[in-house]
Amino acid sequence: MIIVLKSGAADAEVDDVCRRITAMGYAPHTIRGTLRTVIGAVGDDRGKDALLSLESLECVETVTPILKPYKLASREVRQEPTVITVGGVTIGGPAIVVMAGPCSVESRVQLLEAAAKVKAAGARVLRGGAFKPRTSPYAFQGLEDEGLKLLAEARRETGLPVVTEVMEPDKVDVVAEHADILQIGARNVQNFSLLRRVGEAGKPVLLKRGMATSIQEWLLSAEYILASGNPNVILCERGIRTFETATRYTLDLNAVPVVKRLSHLPIMVDPSHGTGHWEYVEAMAMAGVAAGADGLIIEVHPRPEEALSDGPQSLKPERFAALMEKVRRVARAVDRDA
């Protein structure tokens, strides 16, 4: 249910409504907009009649059901876009934010070189995997805790906030100690215990779409994180499985305007995994920005031919710099800052 308060409702009134919602067995989520305050009451649908009685309170304008299965993620609950600020970088605002770096953290030299070069080209966030979800158990699995330390060192050196994947609930705390944004990978989009755990971690979450996840299922995954108390979720379209084999996945850019209509959460596009080939990354990066994405996440490696994972889709730093120039031009053409 959405409880819309009258404009000018006092803090004490907001608190009182929240107390009543809690007493009815629902979790209140207060969203303060520029004009009025809205409280989302989330919980079991069976008690919704009790919530309707809140309409008799002086400070309450309306009580209406949330029609979508995802509640806190929906535009029904919050019309204004969610804007997330992390390490001095604002995601979901007018500026396009580019996150870039290697697929995997491989060594100190590799990471620091990649970090310096992506920063010089205009990336605002450093990416790099320390825990890698690999299809084969014999493939490089990441430097794990050592990789996290290197990411923290790269942040100290460059000042760029860091995004890295967390694959297991038990590792959430240590990843959150070293990283600024926790990435949930495509393969874990419906790992509900992990989603709940990152919901409690207090750091923004980059939630990738699964390769076989509908937009509704993806938004329900975001809902797990939001309902666990973390409002800072960034969605990331990274390609879905189709019959097409010319590219690694099919980058579903339809998802960008669809998510913008259904949800207030920011959405990024990953043209690296979405195509699987470095030659196609620039075109789909530009297309993602033109479609309305709030940012991009791009794999860059100083020497892609030596990469321990995802070399074929990784850009050399010079190509990334050229891509950034083109992305800036597209961003300006669609009235975004870059």
Q: Which does 238 bind (CB under 5 to 8 A by kind): ligand PEP, Mn ion, none?
A: ligand PEP
Quote the least distance from Cβ 281 to Mn ion, whole Å.
12
Q: CA 317, CA 278: separation in Å to the nearest integer?
A: 12
240 touches ligand PEP by CB under 6 A: no
Selection from ligand PEP, Mn ion, none that 274 binds (CB < 5 to 8 A by kind) is none
Q: Does 310 bind Mn ion (CB under 5 A)?
A: yes
One of 29, 78, 124, 238 touching ligand PEP (CB under 6 A): 238
Name the residue nearer to ligand PEP (CB basis): 294 or 310.
310
Task: In whole angstroms, give the CA distance from residue 199 to residue 233.
Answer: 9
Restricted to residues 257-276, the positions that interact with ligand PEP (CB under 6 A) are 273
The CA distance from 58 to 71, in Å, is 25
CB of 211 to ligand PEP, least distance (A): 7
Chain-centroid distance of CA 258 in Å reads 16
Q: Does 203 bind ligand PEP (CB under 6 A)?
A: no
54 Cβ contact partners less than 8 Å away, ≥ 6 residues apart: 3, 17, 20, 21, 60, 63
Name residue 208's beta-bridge partners. Answer: 236
- Residue 248 makes contact with ligand PEP by CB under 6 A: no
Q: Is 185 a binder of ligand PEP (CB under 6 A)?
A: yes
| Residues from 54 through 83 that contact ligand PEP (CB under 6 A) | none
Site map 117..146 versus ligand PEP, x via CB under 6 A = ------------x---x-------------
Q: Is 295 among the residues that bind ligand PEP (CB under 6 A)?
A: no
Check residue 103 for interaction with Mn ion (CB under 5 A): yes
Please list the residues that pair with 40 across neighbouring strands: 2, 29
Please name every residue paired with 116 in a beta bridge, in sequence order, or none if there are none: none
- Closest to 225 (Cα-Cα) out of 276, 181, 280: 181
Q: Is 313 helix (H, G, I), strand (E, B) or coil?
A: helix
d(CA 25, CA 16): 15
For residue 210, give the nearest of 180, 252, 169, 173 by alpha carbon. 252
Q: Does 301 engage in binding with ligand PEP (CB under 6 A)?
A: no
In 28-131, where does DSSP find H-type helix? 48-52, 108-121
- Secondary-structure breakdown of the chain: helix, strand, coil percentages, each rounded to the nearest 5: 40, 20, 40
Report whether 298 contacts 272 (CB < 8 A): yes
Residue where the block lists tokens 């889709």: 313
- Binding segment for ligand PEP among 27-35, 41-49, 141-149, 179-187 (CB under 6 A)? 179-187
CA distance 64 to 52: 8
SS3 at position 163? strand
Among the listed ranges 97-105, 162-170, 249-257, 289-297, the one in contact with Mn ion (CB under 5 A) is 97-105
Residue sitting closest to Mn ion (CB): 103
Task: Give the C-alpha distances (Å, rounded to integers) separating 121 from 117, 229, 317, 323, 327.
Answer: 6, 35, 8, 9, 11
Taking CB under 5 A as the binding criterion, the range among 12-20, 170-178, 258-266, 306-314 that sits at the site for Mn ion is 306-314
| Residue 304 binding ligand PEP, by CB under 6 A | no
- Letters for 253-292 (x = contact with Mn ion by CB under 5 A, - = none) are ----------------------------------------
- Min separation Cβ 57 and ligand PEP, Å: 45
Question: Taking CB positions, which residue lies at the least distance from ligand PEP?
Answer: 185
Least CB distance to ligand PEP at residue 39 (A)? 34
**Size of site (CB under 5 A) for Mn ion:** 2
Q: Is 337 exposed, middle or buried (0-12, 13-18, 19+ CB in 10 A)?
A: exposed
Size of site (CB under 6 A) for ligand PEP:
9
What is the binding site for Mn ion (CB under 5 A)? 103, 310
Query: What residue ranges bind ligand PEP (CB under 6 A)?
Result: 103, 129, 133, 185-187, 208, 238, 273
